[in-house]
């Protein structure tokens, strides 16, 4: 090991942000021109047609309901199981409830390989089929692997490019943090979000292509193209206030405020220390007790031969599906999936404060959260599940989001959640700008933060939830 030691970390961080920003400004690429990408992606969708067909649980192969607890698990004990959870909390008067939840304790890797071509970082993206996906094929990170995949005897054989994420590493790690996934549906689930840079020649593979971040940002403006795993990894990428021109429609004041918000040197309404202290206060003062219960004892949920559902039809169902290639008659595999009963709404309210764009974050408690609370978008809910509640129990700011003036909407797409566990789960993701007259004073569970502050928190685990990260990735398409 050399004794020459590195430059201060902040300067290296700035270099990295600059390189990612350069890639975000490249809206096309000679490596994979947009036309070539779209032809390739359309072809991938055309040739990889799958039938995903709901089936009764009794037709699941390799899965069973446990004798003692009724939990739905794989015969090997691997993959994941569907269990019961009892939650008790004093958070926002939510009291206690029971629900089914997915337990998948292993930490997997969601990783993007990047490589410089002609001075511009390109991401190696995969056209990946997952059974719950809307459109079946979506654009994914280079690697999505469970721990069983990358440790153990097989050491990831059969997963292309996994070797760049394993030790000893033939790559340089640029982004690396454990981040949570849907805590309303998963118990304590986290995946490792990574970006690694490779210098050597990378072997091509027909399901993969190189895209700049700018190209991916354009795809993030379309519905259901870039999958959740790619969005969460991209959300952890730091950018600097770009010097280049606007990439899309120029909205003067909004864009200037956003560019200032990207800079770590900018002024913020609250210091990062104050944001951390506010979260610490929330965790210390509130109670959250999570207790595993047998699935068959979960109250207010019924189990039928083809679904486990809530007695009022709210929230989600657990179903089983059979998956097969549409051009063949044999089933390839069966598995359980979690199917939400409606499209969700996810929105950041954003406003300039002293010329710097701030995002209104919600410290949200969800059933399976690891550490009491994480930062969520301003609004994140299934609206129908609240429709029958009195106004004071409905999510704050939801009415404002659903009635937003179209002229104030800066980002608006429908994106899918993870298609390996969720069946056609989608959310409408929006960034809505509110004006200087919108009150800075917000309820205790909310705080205004800059993009730079959110990005700094993403170096660490379990600060921003998956919906906030997804939407942050979308927000980055708007500068």
CA distance linking residue 368 with residue 373, whole number of Å: 10
CA distance linking residue 216 with residue 228, whole number of Å: 13
CA distance linking residue 397 with residue 135, whole number of Å: 31
Q: Which of residues 441-460 bind its own copies (CB under 8 A)?
A: 441, 459-460
Checking DSSP bridges between strand 108-117 and strand 190-197, what pairing results, if any?
Answer: parallel
Q: Which of residues 358-377 bind its own copies (CB under 8 A)?
A: 371
> Binding to its own copies by residue 224, rule CB under 8 A?
no
Q: Find the length of the chain.
A: 479
> Binding to its own copies by residue 281, rule CB under 8 A?
yes
We find the least distance from the C-beta atom of residue 3 to its own copies, in angstroms, to be 6
We find the least distance from the C-beta atom of residue 227 to its own copies, in angstroms, to be 21
- In terms of Cβ atoms closer than 10 Å to its own Cβ (0-12, 13-18, 19+), residue 252 is exposed
Q: Which stretch binds its own copies (CB under 8 A): 28-36, 118-126, 351-359, 379-387?
A: 351-359
> Binding to its own copies by residue 9, rule CB under 8 A?
yes
Q: What is the CA radius of gyration of the chain?
A: 22
**CB half-sphere exposure, 392, CA atoms < 13 A:** 3
Pair 351, 438: CB distance under 8 Å: yes
> Binding to its own copies by residue 276, rule CB under 8 A?
yes
Residue 57 DSSP class = G
We find the least distance from the C-beta atom of residue 121 to its own copies, in angstroms, to be 17
We find the least distance from the C-beta atom of residue 476 to its own copies, in angstroms, to be 20
> Binding to its own copies by residue 273, rule CB under 8 A?
yes
Can you tell me whether residue 379 is helix, strand or coil? strand
We find the least distance from the C-beta atom of residue 197 to its own copies, in angstroms, to be 13
| Geometric angle at alpha carbon 316, from 315 and 319, rounded to 5° | 170
> Binding to its own copies by residue 18, rule CB under 8 A?
no
> Binding to its own copies by residue 440, rule CB under 8 A?
yes
> Binding to its own copies by residue 76, rule CB under 8 A?
no
We find the least distance from the C-beta atom of residue 217 to its own copies, in angstroms, to be 24
Pair 430, 411: CB distance under 8 Å: yes
Tokens of 86: 């009892």
**Residue 50 CB partners (closer than 8 Å, separation 6+):** 129, 131, 136, 323, 324, 325, 326
Among 200, 265, 311, 405, binds its own copies (CB under 8 A): 265
> Binding to its own copies by residue 437, rule CB under 8 A?
no
Residues 39-56: b if buried by 16+ CB within 10 A, e if exposed: ebbeebeeeeebbbeebe
> Binding to its own copies by residue 12, rule CB under 8 A?
yes
Interface mask (CB under 8 A) for its own copies, residues 79-118, using x and -? --------------------------x-x-x---------
We find the least distance from the C-beta atom of residue 184 to its own copies, in angstroms, to be 21
CA distance linking residue 320 with residue 318, whole number of Å: 7
We find the least distance from the C-beta atom of residue 214 to its own copies, in angstroms, to be 24
Give whichever of 32 and 191 is closer to its own copies, judged by the CB atom: 191
Give whichever of 31 and 359 is closer to its own copies, judged by the CB atom: 359
Residue 331 DSSP class = -
We find the least distance from the C-beta atom of residue 474 to its own copies, in angstroms, to be 25
Among 266, 373, 427, 430, binds its own copies (CB under 8 A): 266
Give whichever of 345 and 351 is closer to its own copies, judged by the CB atom: 351
Can you tell me whether residue 46 is helix, strand or coil? helix
We find the least distance from the C-beta atom of residue 6 to its own copies, in angstroms, to be 6
> Binding to its own copies by residue 177, rule CB under 8 A?
yes
> Binding to its own copies by residue 283, rule CB under 8 A?
yes
In 341-408, DSSP assigns E strands to 344-353, 356-364, 374-376, 379-381
CA distance linking residue 190 with residue 177, whole number of Å: 10
Among 45, 74, 86, 147, binds its own copies (CB under 8 A): 147
> Binding to its own copies by residue 285, rule CB under 8 A?
yes
Among 19, 25, 189, 192, binds its own copies (CB under 8 A): 192
Q: Which of residues 36-75 bind its own copies (CB under 8 A)?
A: none
Smallest Cα–Cα separation from 313: which of 385, 389, 388, 417?
Answer: 385
Report in angstroms the alpha-carbon separations of 110 from 32, 107, 196, 303, 466: 22, 10, 11, 33, 13
Residue 182 CA to chain centroid, in angstroms? 8
Among 46, 67, 167, 249, binds its own copies (CB under 8 A): 167
* Footprint on this chain of its own copies (rule: CB under 8 A): 1, 3-10, 12-13, 105, 107, 109, 147, 151, 167, 173, 176-178, 192, 264-274, 276-277, 280-281, 283-285, 289, 353-354, 356, 371, 440-441, 459-461
């Amino acid at each position: 090991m050399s004794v020459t030691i590195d430059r201060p970390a902040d300067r290296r961080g700035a270099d990295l942000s600059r390189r990612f920003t350069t890639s975000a400004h490249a809206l096309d690429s000679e490596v994979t021109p947009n036309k070539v990408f779209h032809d390739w992606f359309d072809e991938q969708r055309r040739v990889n047609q799958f039938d995903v067909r709901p089936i009764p649980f009794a037709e699941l192969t390799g899965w069973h309901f446990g004798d003692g607890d009724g939990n739905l698990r794989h015969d090997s004990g691997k993959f994941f199981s569907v269990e019961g959870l009892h939650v008790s909390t004093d958070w926002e008067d939510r009291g206690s409830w029971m629900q089914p939840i997915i337990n998948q304790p292993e930490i997997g890797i969601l990783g993007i390989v990047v490589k410089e071509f002609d001075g511009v970082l390109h991401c190696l993206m995969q056209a990946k089929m997952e059974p719950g996906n809307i459109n079946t094929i979506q654009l994914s990170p280079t690697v999505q692997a469970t721990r069983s995949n990358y440790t153990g005897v097989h050491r990831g054989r059969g997963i292309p490019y996994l070797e760049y994420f394993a030790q000893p590493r033939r790559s340089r790690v640029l982004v690396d943090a454990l981040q949570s996934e849907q805590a309303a549906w998963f118990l304590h689930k986290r995946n490792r979000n990574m970006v690694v840079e490779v210098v050597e020649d990378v072997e091509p593979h027909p399901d993969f292509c190189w895209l700049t971040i700018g190209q991916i940002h354009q795809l993030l403006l379309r519905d259901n193209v870039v999958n959740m795993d790619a969005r969460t990894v991209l959300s952890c990428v730091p950018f600097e206030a770009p010097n280049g021109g606007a990439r899309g429609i120029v909205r003067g004041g909004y864009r200037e405020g956003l560019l200032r918000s990207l800079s770590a040197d900018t002024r913020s309404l609250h210091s990062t220390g104050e944001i951390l202290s506010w979260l610490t206060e929330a965790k210390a003062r509130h109670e959250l007790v999570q207790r595993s219960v047998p699935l068959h004892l979960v109250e207010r949920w019924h189990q039928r031969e083809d679904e486990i559902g809530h007695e009022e039809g709210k929230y989600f169902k657990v179903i089983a599906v059979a998956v097969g290639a549409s051009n063949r008659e044999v089933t390839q595999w069966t598995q359980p999936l979690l199917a939400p009963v409606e499209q969700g709404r996810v929105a950041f309210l954003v406003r300039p404060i002293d010329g710097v764009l701030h995002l209104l974050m919600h410290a949200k408690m969800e059933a399976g959260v690891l550490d009491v609370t994480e930062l969520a978008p301003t609004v994140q809910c299934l609206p129908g599940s609240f429709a029958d509640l009195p106004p004071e129990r409905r999510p704050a700011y939801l009415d404002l989001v659903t009635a937003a003036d179209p002229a104030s909407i800066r980002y608006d797409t429908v994106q899918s959640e993870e298609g390996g566990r969720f069946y056609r789960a989608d959310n409408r993701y929006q960034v809505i700008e509110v004006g200087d007259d919108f009150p800075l004073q917000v309820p205790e569970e909310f705080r205004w933060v800059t993009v730079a502050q959110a990005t700094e928190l993403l170096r660490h685990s379990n600060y921003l939830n998956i919906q906030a990260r997804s939407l942050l990735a979308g927000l980055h398409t708007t500068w």
